[in-house]
Amino acid sequence: MPTPREIAAAAQRETPLPNVPQDIDTLLTSAAAFLVVSIKDGPENVAAVQATLGDVANLVKAVAFRDLTAQVSCSAAVGSRVWDEVMAPAITPGAVPAELKPFTEIKGSKHTAISTPGDLLFHIRANRPDLVFELEKLIVDSLGSSVTVEDEVSGFRYFDDRDLLGFVDGTANPVGAHLTQASLVGPEDPEFAGGAYVVVQNYQHNLGAWNRLTVENQEAIVGHRKLDNVELPDAVEGQKSHKTLNTITLDGVEFDILRDNMPFGAPGEALYGTYFIGYTRYLWVLEKMLENMYLGDPPPLYDKILDFSTPTTGTTFFAPPASMLAALGD
């Protein structure tokens, strides 16, 4: 793996990606669905999945024409368990993204980032929930009985881009050219350039306990002021905030990821959550963030937001370039 300094230097001279990426870096939308499924055994089920993945772009077009301003998109990703079998028609025999592997459980002194099943992820986005619903329906109909649903969440944008804890979410996302450099694989893994590693976690919140904290205590945990989202100074030692623990710097180079988290919930069931999704060029960056949160930096000073937010899933995927997915339908 190249050093951080080599990566930073290379980013300044990178050429356009050889593969067409999926719409990973689309603008944030007001609605989304997250669908995680596992493929049933049998070649007929793999064939059905390949046909669906190869047709995703056409399904998006079929829904998007209803409202060209709604920013309809779908990013599809594949897990390590089925990578070889599903992607075989579109890749060099035996080729695998360099860092692709199952989600690794992280067991801290108090909290655990669990690992849960999932072979495929469909991240569906639009500014209209009815179009999100319609696109998910078409994808599920296409998959038919070839898969088992592991997790399905419909998310919404809450107030001024806040999570259900009341804080603005996603302000740490890279912008401009740095967004591509942070989220899409580059020439370090040429066959999969234009793809991205994806990690998802379904977090459920204890809002009652959270809301009993003072605003000052909440701000110290998150690392931002609640009203205006101004960042608080990073702690040099001792307990660090969520923001600081998720800032990854190596040899003076800061590494970012692209987040598109969504609140979700069912008040009648006292269900309040955040669906975390992170796209990254380097899986190790996102893994380091999670290690900091659950193990602490330094251990055992874990991320105190975990006292109020419990992960119920944890799965890793790779989102191939759009051109690679299209080849599955040829």
Residue 6 in any domain: the answer is: no
Distance CA 129, CA 123 (A): 13
List, in order, residues 6 or more apart from 47 with CB less than 8 Å away: none
Distance CA 112, CA 294 (A): 7
Q: Provide the β-strand partners of residue 309.
A: 205
Mean pLDDT for all residues in the chain: 94
Instruction: Kindly report, residue by residue over 130-187, the tens digit of the pLDDT.
Output: 999 999 999 999 999 999 999 999 999 999 999 999 999 877 899 888 999 999 999 9
Residue 234 is among the residues annotated as catalytic for this protein: no
Of 169, 256, 260, 303, which residue is the catalytic one? 169
Distance CA 68, CA 73 (A): 11
Domain that holds residue 150: 17-327
Cα separations in angstroms, 20 against 50, 127, 286, 288: 18, 24, 23, 28
Residue 71 in any domain: the answer is: yes
- Read off the pTM: 0.94
Cα separations in angstroms, 295 against 239, 287, 300: 12, 11, 6
Cα-based angle 21, 136, 171 (whole degrees, multiple of 5): 55
pLDDT along the chain (330 residues), means of 10: 52 60 91 98 98 97 96 98 97 97 98 98 98 98 98 96 93 87 96 98 98 98 95 89 95 94 97 98 98 97 98 98 93
Residue 8 in any domain: the answer is: no
- Token pair, residue 212, equals 């009993």
Domain count, the chain: 1
Long-range contact pairs involving 208-214 (C-beta distance under 8 Å, separation at least 24) = 209/307, 209/308, 210/165, 210/308
Residue 10 in any domain: the answer is: no
> What is the C-alpha radius of gyration for the chain, rounded to an integer number of angstroms?
20
Distance CA 195, CA 90 (A): 13
pLDDT of residue 16: 59
Residue 202 in any domain: the answer is: yes
